[in-house]
Amino acid sequence: MSGFIINRRRFLTVAGAAASAVTLSGCGAFDGFLSSQSPVRDVLASANSLTYRVQRMLIDADALAPEFSASEVRQGQRPNGSTDPTDADYLALKEKQFADYRMTIGGLVEKPLSFSLDELRNMPARTQVTRHDCVEGWSCIAKWTGVPLATILDEARVKPEARFVVFHCYDSMDLGLSGAVRYYESIDLIDARHPQTILAYGCNDEALRVANGAPLRVRIERQLGYKMAKYIKGIELASTLAPYGSGKGGFWEDLGYEWYAGI
């Protein structure tokens, strides 16, 4: 395993040297560096997936994130990002206390399904007290209750060619001149089937609040906060992330964040 880390370091050194050689040789070469045929560009583009593969080798697939006791919950879950979506379809559901809400699961599954909130609440639940770490530098301990995502995946029967779970959300994010896009996220099937990955409808012994993603949000306890999609509209199984957004696997990833945000 340590041999692999050294190889990775050597690999990144080589990538760095190649990149700086290109930079030193001036503007023309810089254009070449950005061109899709450039081997340097391919090396840099693969660094993210290399990080993913190295982390996947180092982390035990079933290792649990730390859980806390209920007494360690000191405050409500601090709301962040979208906290009050104004999209018309969301407002219509909210007005009726989400009575008409149905979460859909589709894409590469044998059996596309949808679930009402009551149906989800009647499935075997898991409760966990965990720490949420936001990339902006704050953490918050909260108690989450929901359905293991693995249960939903088993009911829908994931096809063998599926590699990712994509979460589609109700809230739109304003991108200024380029308009608004809906929040979305994605994870691999290892995280999707992890025992602590739940579709949460409860937080700190109450129904999930709108500020924290009502009626349903995902908890992925070994990842940073932005991976945990709130306001889930539907889930899609996919073999590639290319068709969604700008193809990087999530709203923040499309703006430059790492896709694999393991902690």
Ligand X SMILES: Nc1nc2c(c(=O)[nH]1)N[C@H]1C(S)=C(S)[C@@H](COP(=O)(O)O)O[C@H]1N2
- Prior bond to 215 cis, omega within 30? yes
Asked if 235 touches ligand X (CB under 6 A), the answer is: no
Asked if 250 touches Mo ion (CB under 5 A), the answer is: no
d(CA 214, CA 217): 7
- Beta carbon of residue 226, minimum distance to ligand X (angstroms, whole number): 4
Asked if 260 touches ligand X (CB under 6 A), the answer is: no
* For ligand X, the closer CB: 193 or 219: 219
Residues 168-197, mask of contacts with ligand X (x by CB under 6 A): -x-x-----------x--------------
In 3D space, the residue among 217, 215, 219 whose CA is nearest the CA of residue 207 turns out to be 215
Work out the number of other CB atoms within 10 angstroms of the CB of residue 118: 9
Out of 225, 245, 249, 250, point to the residue binding Mo ion (CB under 5 A): 225
d(CA 169, CA 235): 9
Asked if 215 touches Mo ion (CB under 5 A), the answer is: no
d(CA 170, CA 99): 16
The stretch among 49-57, 79-87, 97-105, 119-127 that binds ligand X (CB under 6 A) is 79-87
- Beta carbon of residue 96, minimum distance to ligand X (angstroms, whole number): 20
The stretch among 49-57, 181-189, 201-209, 222-230 that binds Mo ion (CB under 5 A) is 222-230
* For Mo ion, the closer CB: 158 or 228: 228
The stretch among 7-15, 18-26, 221-229, 237-245 that binds ligand X (CB under 6 A) is 221-229
CA distances from 89 to 94, 105, 106, 146, 233 (A): 9, 18, 19, 23, 10
Out of 38, 48, 51, 80, point to the residue binding ligand X (CB under 6 A): 80
The stretch among 133-141, 208-216, 237-245, 254-262 that binds Mo ion (CB under 5 A) is 133-141
d(CA 151, CA 51): 29
Q: Which residues pair with residue 263 across a beta bridge?
A: none
d(CA 255, CA 9): 26
d(CA 1, CA 142): 35
Asked if 226 touches Mo ion (CB under 5 A), the answer is: yes
Asked if 249 touches ligand X (CB under 6 A), the answer is: no
**What's the start-to-end Cα distance of the chain, in Å?**
19
